[in-house]
Structure 1
């Protein structure tokens, strides 16, 4: 990173960190989370210093990055809560170890990121076919859609996964 970029990122942080924390805390109602997300916002910028040069509205840009991070955080909390609820209903002998729980949560997050942007029925159709091994006709029946729609949902999900994984259009 050039010293110019480093200086501009440093001044960006100095000028906008406090504002960003306040902005996020109004959305999350949690000062600690707001500080974490604001910090993560600037950390994210460290990996993309080239983006600093073409910004028109600094506050809007920072707010958009922070908003995406808040959404990711909420999505993770929902995944975690649902997973923990499922574990609570399992027989004790089948409950995975702490390490297995953590690995599963990480995997669930990765899958969720890959399926980002899909409608719920598209996600569900994909998961039913790819994870549960269901036939398309069974997926169609369960989702109450045509066979053609079920096939299209899975095809779209596969394309979204590929695009999200490799960043290609």
Structure 2
């Protein structure tokens, strides 16, 4: 598809469906401003996609892209709220600066994204080990798998952590 045709297609998609998409997002999010931001993000994502899909059902396609962005939006809000809740328990002298908080939040978002990309049992094993301090034998019982499988899960999770560490 030539770049001129792609531009025309995206322009038509935007013109024909932006208002509808903004309304759909507004109902999902309950906020006009967030809906407008995410609607723009949908079209930016489509424009920056290496391959432009042929859309027989443009609203279904837009909904699918927007749904993914809404899920990411809610995840980010949950992570941010948990962090802000933890900060409230700190004495004022230990509260990090705004810049430090932003850096920590970005790191937490990356960790959450990495964890959400892991298979469920790998994620569960990792969290049970790292957050709850459980031993591999106990994790095996909890997940109804062998201890050897827990070791494989942990190796997979640690590899993801190393990969993330290099990216950050």
- Give the TM-score category using the shorter length: 0.7 to 0.9
Q: Deviations over 1:127-169 (max 9, x none)?
A: 566x67x6xx6255378636345324324435767999xxxxx
Partner of 2:34 in structure 1?
33
TM-score (norm 2): 0.77
- Please list, as runs of the form range in 1=range in 2, the aligned pairs for 1:107-146 lying within 5 A after superposition: 107-118=107-118, 122-123=122-123, 125-126=125-126, 138=135, 140-141=137-138, 145=142
Contact kept in structure 2, 1:17 and 1:38, CA below 8 Å: yes
Structure 1, unaligned runs of 5 or more = 165-169
Partner of 2:61 in structure 1?
61
Partner of 2:81 in structure 1?
81
Structure 2 Cα separation of the partners of residues 125 and 141 of structure 1: 10
Cα distance change, pair 120–97 in 1 and its aligned pair in 2 (3 A): farther
Q: Deviations over 1:4-57 (max 9, x none)?
A: 1111111110001001111112222222221111111001112116223x3331
Partner of 1:3 in structure 2?
4
TM-score (norm 1): 0.77
Structure 2 Cα separation of the partners of residues 28 and 101 of structure 1: 25
Compute the displacement of 1:58 (Å). 0.9
Q: Number of residue pairs matched?
A: 160
Cα distance change, pair 148–27 in 1 and its aligned pair in 2 (3 A): same
Structure 2 Cα separation of the partners of residues 63 and 126 of structure 1: 33
